[in-house]
Amino acid sequence: MSRCIPLAVALAIYSAIALLPLPPQLGLAMRHQPAIALGLVLLTYPICQRWKKYTGAIELGLVLILMALPLSGLWNSATSEYPTLMAGLFPLTDGSNYYTDARRVLAGGSLNVVSSSRPLFPGVLTTLLAVSGQNLQWSVAALGAIAGIALWVLIREIRQTLGTPSAWGSLLGVVWFYRRFIGTVWTEHWGLTLGAVAAAMLWRSIHRRQLSLFLGGLLVLTLGLTARAGAFLVLPALIGWGSWFFRELRAGRVAVAGLAMVAIAFLLNQAVLNAIGRPELAFSNYAYTVYAQVVNSSDWRQVLIDHPEVAGLPQPALSQQIYALALQAFLDQPLAVVQHALRAWLTYLSPTAEGLWGFLATYGATPVTTVLLGMMYLLSAIGGVVCLREFTPLQQITLVAWLGVLASFPLCLRGWMVSPRR
């Protein structure tokens, strides 16, 4: 029971910050200026050093404060941010589809085209709306709190192995990325939540050399990638490395078990789609991205420009036709895919606002964000060198995961061309 008290207190603080009529400038500063989060972390660090016994509870409170402030800024200012939300709350574009479809499911209908291509998050949103009596504000607040708790689970694992500075540095990196999605109804919520839990499980599995936890981490990570499509090639990278790390259990068996976890995750995603969506639309949205990659375009809608005649086709005929056009384009110009990959990697590795740490400049480049960009790229380089020099199992899995992300980057068109900071 005593372990629940810090969680209850942290959630009470989160709710108070989100719901009380605080000056909107306070929350918007947290949302728009990455230095504010850095300042809060630096101010909290001496408190943890003074009361080390309560570090976990203080961390949890810090994480939920970092989540609540951007939400407070939105709700107390009714700020609109295209393409995510209007008047501080109401979802736009993809978020509008997820919200509308969640309410449609509650009314006895099913998910439509956009939501059926990634049904896990609409399913979660449907559940939250059902529990809250279709209260969108409550549901949005719950998404932020759940993501914050998942992030706390991850940084706690990092702190226990690498210390507080490494853990809180990781916290800052995630908060800087996630701040623009707090208060929205986008799939990044569930992708980050499951990703953080999966990373914590994988981290602990290596530290404790526990195969079952490693396999569970692969399962949760795959679910996260189906919720918010991303670096899928990290899965074979982790399975391959895990087979070597747990080689005393026979590498072949570990690889088969890892692949089974991935398959189970996709089956669970399909089960949700079968229950509340349109099964024929699974991953249909990715057809646009595939075509753009094949023709080396920076516009995910390129197929509609090159072949406007397909726009009137219904799903799933539309996605099937786009895949066929992508195959033909590849056969005509196979080197375009190579050019696309090179452009993606150069963008990702460039020390600019369009690269790895580009989300620091989500709300515009300033002298402060420029300094922070330089610091983070420098720290990333130093971290890479340290991982290569010491090469412990935890550092190995970090490098393997990063290489999986790097290999996947050309596949994530929206991640580096359409919206570089996603």
pLDDT tens, the chain, 422 aa long: 567 888 999 999 999 999 999 999 999 999 999 999 999 999 999 999 899 899 999 999 999 999 999 999 999 999 999 899 999 999 999 999 999 999 999 999 999 988 998 999 999 999 999 999 999 999 999 999 999 999 999 999 999 999 999 999 999 999 999 999 999 999 999 999 999 999 999 999 999 999 999 999 999 999 999 999 888 999 999 999 999 999 887 768 999 999 999 999 999 999 999 999 988 776 667 888 888 888 888 777 899 999 999 988 888 888 889 999 999 999 998 888 888 888 888 888 887 777 889 899 888 888 999 999 999 999 999 999 999 999 999 999 999 999 999 998 887 755 444 444 55
Same domain, 312 and 377: no
**Contact (CB, 8 A) for 360 and 372:** yes
Same domain, 412 and 324: no
Same domain, 30 and 134: yes
Q: Which residues contact 420 (CB under 8 A, 6 or more apart)?
A: 347, 353, 354, 355, 358
Cβ count near 404 (within 10 Å): 21
Within a domain: 212: no
Is the pTM here over 0.75, yes or no? Answer: yes
Q: Hey, is 140 helix, strand or coil?
A: helix
Within a domain: 361: yes
Within a domain: 267: no
| Helices 136-162 & 164-178 angle (0-180, nearest 10) | 150
Same domain, 292 and 387: no
Distance in angstroms (rounded) separating the CA atoms of residues 300 and 36: 34
Sign for the pseudo-dihedral over CA of 115, 116, 121, 125: positive
Within a domain: 365: yes
Within a domain: 276: no
Strands 90-91 and 85-86: antiparallel
**Contact (CB, 8 A) for 418 and 300:** yes
* Residue that finishes a domain, picked among 333, 351, 370: 333
Distance in angstroms (rounded) separating the CA atoms of residues 75 and 181: 14
pLDDT of residue 415: 46
Within a domain: 239: no
Same domain, 343 and 401: yes
Same domain, 320 and 366: no
Same domain, 168 and 195: yes
Of 283, 323, 273, the closest CA to residue 303 belongs to 323
Cis peptide bond N-terminal to 316, omega within 30: yes
Q: Considering just the CA atoms, what is the radius of gyration of the chain in Å?
A: 22
Same domain, 34 and 176: yes
Cis peptide bond N-terminal to 91, omega within 30: no
Within a domain: 64: yes
Within a domain: 234: no
Where in the sequence is the domain holding 410, given as residue range(s)? 335-422
Q: Hey, is 227 helix, strand or coil?
A: helix
| Helices 164-178 & 188-207 angle (0-180, nearest 10) | 160
Of 379, 376, 395, the closest CA to residue 387 belongs to 395
* Residue that finishes a domain, picked among 143, 172, 207: 207
pLDDT of residue 286: 80
Same domain, 376 and 329: no
Task: Provide the number of structural domains found in the chain.
Answer: 3
Of 199, 221, 210, 208, the closest CA to residue 249 belongs to 210
pLDDT of residue 61: 97
* Residue that finishes a domain, picked among 207, 226, 246: 207
Cα–Cα distances in angstroms (integers) from residue 222 to residues 199, 232, 238, 242, 383, in the given order: 11, 8, 11, 15, 26
Distance in angstroms (rounded) separating the CA atoms of residues 103 and 418: 29
pLDDT of residue 158: 96
Same domain, 344 and 327: no
Same domain, 159 and 123: yes
